[in-house]
Amino acid sequence: MIPSRPARLALTLLFAASLLASARSALAGDAPKMKHRVLIVTGEDYPGHKWRETAPVLQAELAKDPRLAVEVLTDLTLLASVRLGEYDAVVLHFKNYDPKVPGRKAYDNLAKYVEGGGGLVLLHFACGAFEEFKADFVNLAGRVWFGINPPPGRRQHDPHGPFTVNIAKIDHPITKGMADFETVDELYTCLEGEREITVLATAVSKIDKKPYPIAMVHQYGKGRVFHSVLGHDVAALQAPGAAELHRRGCAWVCGVKGNK
């Protein structure tokens, strides 16, 4: 049966009202929002760092922020060719020992991505990645591992155990509202570098009683960099304070405003 003219008019008005309601909903912020794509790059590390166990946990912890869609790349050889521009953030979760893997092209691909506005997150021993390009990598990472032979009077880290992470920058978007927290991890004392950074969190060594940077940020070109040395194992990545810090840092380098 063909609807009468009044009925057709009523249907037209109903459809127009539906479109108007949808438009108003979108303007009000009720429309579904695209998630920010995050790529965890892993696949090699010091034998004491079990990346096959920690990478899925890291992925799950970051994905607890509903604004982030987190993927994992376990083949470091692909870092030279992957289209990083399709992602809002790259998370380094590796320390390579083969200077050819991922290699210079991979490093240049990453540096170009961040310089152009991409977000970068470095966790735990990622400070030792790209050691073969250390002079360049230190500018990208902010601080890097000083190597297998510590400078006089320095050591790699405190013995694995409990310590307090102190929030040092209470007005930064990442740490705003966060309280000091306890964790069981490795307190890294092995960083070096001179470029300007903003230290977000510190921890005091039980060995020498000195404070050391635990989390920091800086700008690299148009891109944001968040660097945390926490995350030795599964338990360390799941520690509530550390997990929250890493989620916030990842969201911040993506350009997301506010914290979940």
Query: CA angle, 199 as apex, 211 and 152 as ends, to 5°?
Result: 45
Q: How far apart are CA 260 and CA 251, in angstroms?
A: 9
Q: How far apart are CA 94 and CA 27, in angstroms?
A: 42
Beta strands in 17-160 (DSSP E): 36-41, 68-73, 89-92, 119-123, 144-145
Q: Does 40 score more than 80 pLDDT?
A: yes
Which alpha helices (DSSP H) does 28-133 contain, by range? Answer: 51-62, 104-115
Contact between residue 54 and residue 4 where contact means Cβ atoms under 8 Å apart: no
Q: Does 26 score more than 80 pLDDT?
A: no
Q: How far apart are CA 100 and CA 30, in angstroms?
A: 48
Distance from the first to the final alpha carbon of the chain: 53
Q: How far apart are CA 144 and CA 213, in angstroms?
A: 12
Confidence band, pLDDT 50/70/90 cuts, at residue 4 = low
- What are the boundaries of each domain within the chain? 36-144+213-254
Confidence band, pLDDT 50/70/90 cuts, at residue 232 = very high
Residue 185 has a CB neighbour count (10 Å cut-off) of 26
Give the CATH architecture of domain 36-144+213-254: 3-Layer(aba) Sandwich (3.40)
Q: How far apart are CA 206 and CA 162, in angstroms?
A: 10
Q: How far apart are CA 100 and CA 96, in angstroms?
A: 9
Q: How far apart are CA 146 and CA 177, in angstroms?
A: 32
Q: Does 1 score more than 50 pLDDT?
A: no
What are 167-191's pLDDT values in tens digits?
A: 999 999 999 999 999 999 999 999 9
> H or E element: which one contains 227?
strand 223-228
Residue 254 has a CB neighbour count (10 Å cut-off) of 21
What are 62-86's pLDDT values in tens digits?
A: 999 999 999 999 999 999 999 999 9
- The reported pLDDT for the residue numbered 251 is 98
